[in-house]
Chain A
């Protein structure tokens, strides 16, 4: 992953942004919105992951899009613009084909945004956000995240050792393998319990359980974050106002109908476009700033 400026914003901002953009992408089936969201998500994912993003696009996104586009017209027969009758007598309509395509784009963009979410919202950010509400949960989550890789590591070690005496899951026939596997798992339980005693000692000794525990975090909500939150609220408010007042709307069934292109509608489109490309805009401005500074030095 390259240095991504958007990730350095406060976790609250990161999280709110993803909630807003994924929510909009899921529920707004307006083709302009869909297009913007899809492009924005894809651009950001490519920015984060480079050519690896193309690989996922090819292997995951394309099939999802094709299946969704193909399935809808086969099973949904609403709409008035008839193209032809299928073999079983059901009609194939223009509206259902278009809706299928739209749903495909929607799925792809949501998938894209979730992939970005996974990269940006690391476990410690997540813990920080939800730990504020319930402090004990954040510590437990953090301990679990510590425990799982350790457990996996120890299984590997034990498995290697058992291999040395010919008693690993890869040695012997099927029955013997299963038996070896069970033995390893059972000893892992002992191991986990045994070690947790010392962990508990270490926690107690460092005063866990005293009254008034405070959660420390390395995040600070600075001016930049306030500005970002302001912009986010402004854009979100504008978009919702546009939708609620029906200045922007789109109908697929029974026939395609779209809002007229008033100045208002244009403004909402622009807002949505900025929203979807916000991380990219931030990242690229930062890159340009750096480039400029470097050339000055």
Chain B
């Protein structure tokens, strides 16, 4: 018997004409790993919330959902609470109590088990997830990845039959996200728990999935195995979100079986293009000495937060030429964000110099610094908003000078709104926007300062492929206006595709900095999936596009 059966499901939110989801028909068997993907706003979350009655949104619903053959509404709340486990997006918001052990026990407490059973369940879960070392801690002391793992463990303590996850890794860094996803995989394989997952990091989950459900504007366009979906999706917008091997496979004319992982991709490439190796290889040289106009310069900068503390930034030197997109890549906790705060003058180095446009930063007054000079986009764009609508928030940037809305200000706002493509969002509350929309609205706000230098902290965090390419368009436009962009990121694929110069940050300093292409061809692990897949045959190809072009070129003479 199927675990879930969805029959002709339609759903419309109140006060809207267009249904949020239409005509869904599929069934999920016990033990399956199902990935749901689609653009933001295609009804993924709406669908996911229908899998549990207490979370179902208000609105007009048609069709039925069967849970183990019974109508979902008729399954008791107690059974639903225990057997259908939910993990939501934000690691922080889901945690209810202040202690790790209390949070673990929260769900089981609600089910009303006796002390002995709760103790056993908690102990089991803590051991399975390796939580025992931070069992006594306050929740506040945990990292984002640990918090999300705790949420998962707390749900698992209730021994659910199915786990429903709504973009659980969107707020995590790649390493924590990878760990989280492999834990989900382990739960699926070792415990036989069914998994239904929304995720935009398809590179990792695509190979894990048994079934993939693709939604577009509320309609189900595919429900099939990943290999078939990878093959069929070739001419869809969503194609951008597919893993690199799938994109390359489709871009070169779909020969053989569709590869899903880098390893499969390597073998596939060897099989079909093995004969056309071209082994030119470029090395990553340090910046050749050239007289260029450097906008941001750091010279042997050292920084620590406390006098007795560890050095966070050590002997950091960097030079950013005017009008470039400069990417600083590196692992977690290596001091990237701290470096950004040094460049923006929030913190001061105890040794070394930071020059912005040739002027030392501590000699620049606040007023100058934040007017037509420097703009900073923090990691969480939400923290920039203070107004009730996006428009109000944009006007707020001028409120200092005069309360009257002047004509030239209006023009400025219109230009920025056009640049960042947020015209349709002006009347919404900033907190109601999706991650990508918030990012752009915040960027608009910063751009009103008319900065020449833009510092961005992980601007692609939590964005899907579609929003990322939009962000890249905006960056391109800004660069054309002569704005220099320095961004800190984990996102290798994005930096490879759009960055001008990439710098590897490690242990408080920059190890190498060179043009994006040279940078990635020089690395063997810290590089794009496409490069890792193709490096024995086309060592110069960094992005998916490069690999596809190289493949096509190698075929032409034949």
**Interface residues, chain A, with chain B CB atoms under 8 Å away:** 123-124, 139, 142-143, 145-146, 149-150, 153-154, 157-158, 160-167, 171-172, 176, 183-184, 186-187, 190-191, 194-195, 198-199, 201-218
CA distance A163 to B341 in the complex (A): 11
B483 at the interface (CB under 8 A from A): no
Contact in complex: A210, B78 (CB < 8 Å): yes
Contact in complex: B55, A186 (CB < 8 Å): no
Beta-carbon nearest neighbor of B54 in chain A: A204
CA distance A163 to B388 in the complex (A): 20
Contact in complex: B445, A202 (CB < 8 Å): no
Contact in complex: B366, A146 (CB < 8 Å): no
Chain A residues with CB under 8 Å of B375's CB are 164-165
Chain A residues with CB under 8 Å of B18's CB are none
Chain A residues with CB under 8 Å of B75's CB are none
Chain B residues with CB under 8 Å of A211's CB are 112
Interface of B is mostly: helix
Min Cβ gap A128→B in Å is 10
Beta-carbon nearest neighbor of A159 in chain B: B383
CB-based closest 5 A-B pairs: A207-B81, A166-B370, A164-B376, A212-B112, A198-B93
Min Cβ gap A32→B in Å is 40
Min Cβ gap B14→A in Å is 17
Beta-carbon nearest neighbor of B397 in chain A: A165
B139-159 vs A: 1/0 string, CB under 8 Å?
A: 110000000000100110010
Given contacts A124-B98, A164-B344, 9 further A-B contacts (CB under 8 A): A164-B370, A195-B93, A199-B95, A207-B107, A208-B106, A211-B112, A214-B109, A216-B102, A216-B122
Beta-carbon nearest neighbor of B377 in chain A: A164
Q: How many A-B residue pairs have C-beta atoms within 8 angstroms? Tell me.
A: 160
Min Cβ gap B144→A in Å is 13
**Interface residues, chain B, with chain A CB atoms under 8 Å away:** 52, 54-55, 77-78, 81-82, 86, 88-90, 92-99, 101-102, 105-115, 118-119, 122, 138-140, 151, 154-155, 158, 341, 344, 346, 366-367, 369-371, 375-378, 380, 382-386, 396-397, 400, 429, 431, 445-446, 449
Interface of A is mostly: helix
Contact in complex: A199, B77 (CB < 8 Å): no
CA distance A282 to B367 in the complex (A): 62
Contact in complex: A203, B96 (CB < 8 Å): yes
CA distance A279 to B75 in the complex (A): 54
Pick the residue among A171, A199, A213, A218 that contacts B109 (CB under 8 A). A213
Q: Determine which residue in A149, A203, A214 has the highest number of CB atoms from chain B within 10 A of its CB, and name it.
A: A214
Beta-carbon nearest neighbor of B374 in chain A: A164
Contact in complex: B81, A210 (CB < 8 Å): yes
Beta-carbon nearest neighbor of A135 in chain B: B109
CA distance A158 to B151 in the complex (A): 25
Contact in complex: A161, B383 (CB < 8 Å): yes
Beta-carbon nearest neighbor of A198 in chain B: B93
Q: What are 19 contact pairs spanning A and B, CB under 8 A? A: A124-B98, A142-B96, A146-B98, A158-B383, A164-B370, A164-B377, A165-B397, A186-B386, A187-B385, A194-B431, A195-B90, A198-B90, A202-B95, A205-B81, A206-B81, A207-B110, A210-B77, A216-B105, A216-B109
Pick the residue among B95, B380, B429 that contacts A146 (CB under 8 A). B95
Chain A residues with CB under 8 Å of B429's CB are 190
Contact in complex: B366, A157 (CB < 8 Å): no
Contact in complex: A207, B96 (CB < 8 Å): no
Given A149-B140, A166-B369, A202-B93, are A208 and B110 neighbors across the interface (CB < 8 Å)?
yes
Chain A residues with CB under 8 Å of B54's CB are 204-205
Contact in complex: A207, B111 (CB < 8 Å): yes
Contact in complex: A214, B384 (CB < 8 Å): no
Contact in complex: A214, B115 (CB < 8 Å): yes
Given A149-B140, A164-B344, are A142 and B102 neighbors across the interface (CB < 8 Å)?
yes
Chain A residues with CB under 8 Å of B88's CB are 198, 201-202
Contact in complex: A216, B108 (CB < 8 Å): yes
Beta-carbon nearest neighbor of A205 in chain B: B86
CA distance A166 to B400 in the complex (A): 10
CA distance A293 to B155 in the complex (A): 42
Pick the residue among B52, B111, B382 that contacts A210 (CB under 8 A). B111
Min Cβ gap B383→A in Å is 4
Given A190-B431, A210-B111, are A165 and B376 neighbors across the interface (CB < 8 Å)?
yes
Contact in complex: A157, B378 (CB < 8 Å): yes
Beta-carbon nearest neighbor of A212 in chain B: B112
Chain A residues with CB under 8 Å of B110's CB are 206-210, 213
Chain A residues with CB under 8 Å of B346's CB are 160, 163-164
Contact in complex: A160, B378 (CB < 8 Å): yes
Contact in complex: B98, A213 (CB < 8 Å): no
Pick the residue among B94, B119, B400 that contacts A199 (CB under 8 A). B94
CA distance A157 to B90 in the complex (A): 17
Min Cβ gap A100→B in Å is 43
Contact in complex: A206, B106 (CB < 8 Å): yes
Chain A residues with CB under 8 Å of B105's CB are 216
Chain B residues with CB under 8 Å of A164's CB are 344, 346, 370, 375-378, 446
CA distance A153 to B140 in the complex (A): 10
Beta-carbon nearest neighbor of B84 in chain A: A205
Q: Determine which residue in B107, B367, B377 has the highest number of CB atoms from chain A within 10 A of its CB, and name it.
A: B107
Chain A residues with CB under 8 Å of B111's CB are 207, 210
Contact in complex: A157, B446 (CB < 8 Å): no
Min Cβ gap A26→B in Å is 31
Beta-carbon nearest neighbor of B107 in chain A: A206
